[in-house]
Structure 1
Amino acid sequence: GDWTDEYPPLPTYQPDPEAEKKELYIMQVKGLPWSCSAQELLQFFSECRIRDGVKGIHLTVDRMGRPSGQAFIEMEHEEDVGKALEKHRQYLGPRYVEVYEVTNTDAEALLKKAGQDPAESDVVRLRGLPFSCTDQDIVMFFSGLDIVENGITVVLDRKARHSGEAFVQFSSHEAAAEALQRHREVIGNRYIEVFPSRRDQIHSSWKKKPSSAPPFVGLPSANRTASASQNRTGSAHGSALHYIHMRGLPFQVSGEDVVKFFAPLAVSKILMECGAEGRPSGEADVYFSCHKDALTAMSRDRMYIGERYIELFLNSDAESDGSW
């Protein structure tokens, strides 16, 4: 059917010929920071009237459920399109964004697709949770939002320990959209990352991961010290707790580039993430030997490697220094 089917029919007493042929005004926005929220886009386009406010903004995600840096925004009217186009190549945070008008036929296809868009999903994925985190902590983190019964799935690593990731299913798309706004808020002293996800992506262990492990980037002497400290603490945590997640790396980045980025701090291990095709995803985890180094390393947040600014997320607890 026609996309207007979802709307209730207009009351008969006010025949409105305009309602028949509704023009669609849709903008495509590219080059957004990964952490960009619908709320920030609403402010960025504050001179434009956006249909249904935040609901008229569709942030798209890639196949892995990660933000793609693009959005489609429904505008009320042609003059709003003009105002939106004036924002082309203006800066939103540290990046300039590109703004294009979408033709009517593409717009209809996009709106249909937006219906099945993971952005319309009621599931989010959390990353960077403290190992001691309980379901109750997650409920508190999303206080005010309605989580369905048994809607929290904590992902365990291969040794059946808390992996620091979890999926949360909410009772509505709206609650999930609101949950995404809490990206980078804190539990304990750790940033929690909140990503869009879907029900079919929920899993409770890492066994299903297609690639066995991300490639280690050779830093042999440092790797030895990392394993030594693990033996000493009698637990596989140890240095594993002091890492920084990097996002936005150029694809051709090398381990050496990452070491230089954090110099003179000593990096003990680098895990580069790969996407489904084995290509680098632009993300990496960088391990340090102690909380203090990881904290110091955070001062490099939003500095550049080549043309790209790098976002850093802290995953380290002061308590986990020394022995467990």
Structure 2
Amino acid sequence: MASIVHRLINDGHVFGESDIVSERLEPGICSKNEFVDDNSVVRARGLPWQSSDQDIARFFKGLNISKGGVALCLSPQGRRNGEALVRFESEEHRDLAIRRHKHHIGQRYIEVYKATGKDFINVAGGSNTEAQAFLSRGGQVIIRMRGLPFTATTQQVLDFFSRDPNQCIVLDGEDGILFVHYPDGRSTGDAFVLFASEEEANKALKKHRDIMGTRYIELFKSTTAEVQQVLNRSMDPRNPEQPADSQLSPLIAQIPQQTTLPMLPQNFITSGTRRDCVRLRNLPTGAQVTDILTFLGEYSQFIVYQGVHMVYTSQGEASGEAFIQMESEEAAVLTSINRHRRQMIFANKKRIIDVIPCSGDDMSLVLTNGMPMTAALPPAVAPMIQRQLIPTAVSPPTMIPTSSIASLPYQMPQPAPMQAFQHHPAMTHIPAQRPAYFPPILYWYPSPPVSPQNYLAPSGPSVIVMRGLPFNASCQDVMNYFQGFPEVNPETVQLQRNTEGKPNGDALITFSSRTEAERAILEKNRRMLGNRFIELFLVS
């Protein structure tokens, strides 16, 4: 640097006022009425989901970002979607930021594009006076709490952080806590908490998944922009029943890694004649686990650990049904009495939901299409364990496949079973003969909890089905479609063919983690390849 300065002086350059560069991002508040220059904003894409505003500020180190100038974007479901809007103090710094296009955070390259002031205001701007007062207290770090009991009080939150181990102090006591409510005053189960320093905040984060009452609480770092977004969304009267963070559920646990049994019959979920389960019918097609939890309201506290079971068709589409395991028969009956034939508001439309008590045996009967199954693994299923439709490097989800259904005792005439075949790169997953008909399939799938800051996904690779490819599409076309995902390469792409050996318009793409697979779906689903819309489905 000294030699550069010396050369500039020798060339006659005169240094005027020095440009002061901020060492770290300063917190700040953005109002809906504030003017933001269009020439000062960029959009960053491809961010790791766990990135904080300070991580993004470090990516743009050496450039001055306005106070509170990093706004992490949320999807309609409340998840961070891998994008952020960044506001700089000057157009010059904005232009320098664009030069960092395709620089890396870790192993991920980040795309940087121009954006407008309106884009930034739409994400970061707020008009909620309660939020403004909360954010103006000057806390260095904001922690978001999710999964709070609906009756939680500020004193209970203070007690949660003050108990050992990892005792920490909330800034300004009760005034440093902001609960999120719907327009009618009901709690969403979320709250934001201020801490005076990074040290206190780090101690607080060690309480992630600690218990308050009967609920475990999830904690992660937040930002001023996220507070504004969540408050704006929760108080929107056009969507009164929609939760502020509708994809974040504390009730669904991590799916265990499967080793010895890649495909598990669904009667292993639960069994018995006790009517301690409820069956939900007529769910909206796009409804997620947290939509169900919101619909059940206070009765969701009676759901057992890992007890929400969404039901999907063989095409990976929601069937409109779900089964929920409750703590007791009384809880199931109480839930049914109070929620049966009630309305669920989803996408601004109302649906009447059936809530019916049932037993574990009833659940298994429905999930196996009316075929009785014993608790032990039937001998007829054993041969299916050696034959996988997913590469052995991939851990498939818990499901009962068509082949297992066809192998079990059943009163109706059975289709001809699919025969095993030798694997060949050009003829991936092609059965030797086509069965006369395919019985319906229902897949059971327990969604893992999703936190923008802490995503608990099953370990191991995940597979995406790519549907709608032109029949002449090549592996290179698929790689070009997933530009920005360096792990998509010829070794992870499998173009599928029909029984006649011709391309069927599908491909399987293996990702190293579920996080990357879901990011790929979020960014690439329903994009164009040539003149074709491409659909993406997660199958593992």
TM (normalized to structure 1)?
0.48
Structure richer in helix, relative to its length: 1
Larger Rg: 1 or 2?
2
